[in-house]
Structures are given as C-alpha cells and as structure tokens.
Amino acid sequence: MTIAAVNEASAQAGVALAGLGIPASHALILSALLFAIGLAGVMARRNILFMLMSLEIMMNSAALAFVVGGNMWGSADGQIMFIFVLTLAAAEAAIGLAILLQFYHRFRNLDVNQANKLKG
C-alpha cells in the first residue's frame, strides 16, 4: 500500500494525524489532559522548580493543539505556531532558571511563600 493510498483512506475515515490513523479528537483530548495536569501542578505546588516544569507541560500541550489544528485544516500554521511556542518555552526556561538560582542563593529553599520577602 502506498503512502498516497494510506492518506486517502485516512481522509475518508475522518481527520487523522499524518496518515498514522490517530484521530484528531484523541490528540486534542491528550492535549487537554496534559494542560489540566500542568494547571494542577501550578496550582498545587509551592516549589518554584515544579511550577516551572508544570508551565512547560502546559506550553507543550498548547503546542500539540496547534499542530493538531494545523493538520486538521491542512496548513502549516500549526507547525509555525509550534516554533513560536518552542521559542517562548526556551526563553521562559532561561529566565525562570535564572530567577530560580537567585531565589535559592538568597533563601536556601525554593518555596514560593518566601517570595513576598523579596525586595525590589
């Protein structure tokens, strides 16, 4: 079976990701689940490092949703937005880790409740 035949069969069966047979609804459900896990991590944790990791999970879930949406509509817009999200995540990681190092250097812990003692 050729790739064109697989793509045609998946298009007839509904929207699927790149001819792999993965329905877009499943990928969007995964994206929503990852976003909810990240949101719960941001809300429940008091450690700055875990909060940054949860933010990364949330941004990756948004990037997955962009890629799925771009694939559903047959355009490269989802991949372009993924590049922007990836750039934002890299900047967030660099700045967040710099703040985290300063915070640990000053307070010797990573508890967010200590942040109200910062001056500036």
What pTM did the predictor assign?
0.75
Give the chain's domain count. 1
Which of 120, 58, 50 lies closest to 89, judged by CA? 58
Torsion region of 36: left, alpha or beta (phi above 0 gives left; psi -120 to 50 gives alpha): alpha
User: Which residues are 111's β-sheet partners?
Assistant: 47
Tell me, yes or no, whether 18 lies in a domain.
Answer: no
Strands (E) across 10-117 are located at none
Distance, in Å, from the CA atom of 84 to the CA atom of 101, rounded to the nearest integer, reads 26
Tell me, yes or no, whether 118 lies in a domain.
Answer: no
Tell me, yes or no, whether 91 lies in a domain.
Answer: yes
Query: For residue 57, what is the domain's CATH number?
Result: 1.10.287.3510
Q: Per-residue pLDDT tens for 15-24?
A: 555 556 788 8
Distance, in Å, from the CA atom of 33 to the CA atom of 20, rounded to the nearest integer, reads 21
Q: Per-residue pLDDT tens for 21-62?
A: 788 899 999 999 999 999 999 999 888 889 999 999 999 999
Sole residue written with tokens 């929207």: 15
Tell me, yes or no, whether 38 lies in a domain.
Answer: yes
Tell me, yes or no, whether 55 lies in a domain.
Answer: yes
Tell me, yes or no, whether 99 lies in a domain.
Answer: yes
Residue range(s) defining the domain that contains residue 87: 23-113
Tell me, yes or no, whether 47 lies in a domain.
Answer: yes
Burial class (CB in 10 A: 0-12, 13-18, 19+), 46: exposed
Tell me, yes or no, whether 119 lies in a domain.
Answer: no
